[in-house]
Structure 1
Amino acid sequence: MADVEVTLSLPGELVAAVGEAAGGDLSAYVVKALRSALLMDAMREVADAGHPPPPPDDVLHAAETDLR
C-alpha cells in the first residue's frame, strides 16, 4: 500500500517525548502506535460482544473425532 502524507497537530510536550522515544523515525513510531490502537479497539469490540453461543453438537463431535 502506498504511503499517504498527512498533517497532524500535537501538543509540543507530546512531540518532544515521542521524538525522543521514536529514535529519529517519528513516522514508524506513529504507524506502530496507530496499529496498536486499532488492534486494541478490535479486541475491545470482541470482548464487548460477550461469549459466543456454543457450537452445535455435530461440530463438537467432528472436532473430537479429528483430535483422536
Structure 2
Amino acid sequence: LTLIQTQKMPKIPVLLFGREYWEKLINFQFLAEQGMIAEEDLQIFEFVESANEAWERITHFYADKEEWTAVVEK
C-alpha cells in the first residue's frame, strides 16, 4: 500500500477478503477522519467476499491492458 501511496509502483488491485472481518480489525474511515491516512487512500483497496468476485475485479482492472489480456486468453 505504501508503494502505491507514494507512487513508487503503479496502481494494482489490492483486495481485502471479508469486509466484516477487516472493518472489525481496522476502522479505515476513523483513520481518515483523524488524518492518519488520506481520504483518497481509501480508494486504493477494495473489499471482496469470494474468489469469483476477486477475479472479476482483477480482470476488470486489467481489461484495457494488452499484455494482461494476452496472458488471460492463453
For the aligned pair, the TM-score class normalised by the smaller chain equals: under 0.3
Larger Cα Rg: Structure 1 or Structure 2? 1
The structure that is strand-richer by fraction is 2
Q: TM-score, normalised by structure 1?
A: 0.26
The structure that is helix-richer by fraction is 1
Higher relative contact order (CA 8 A, sep 6+): 2
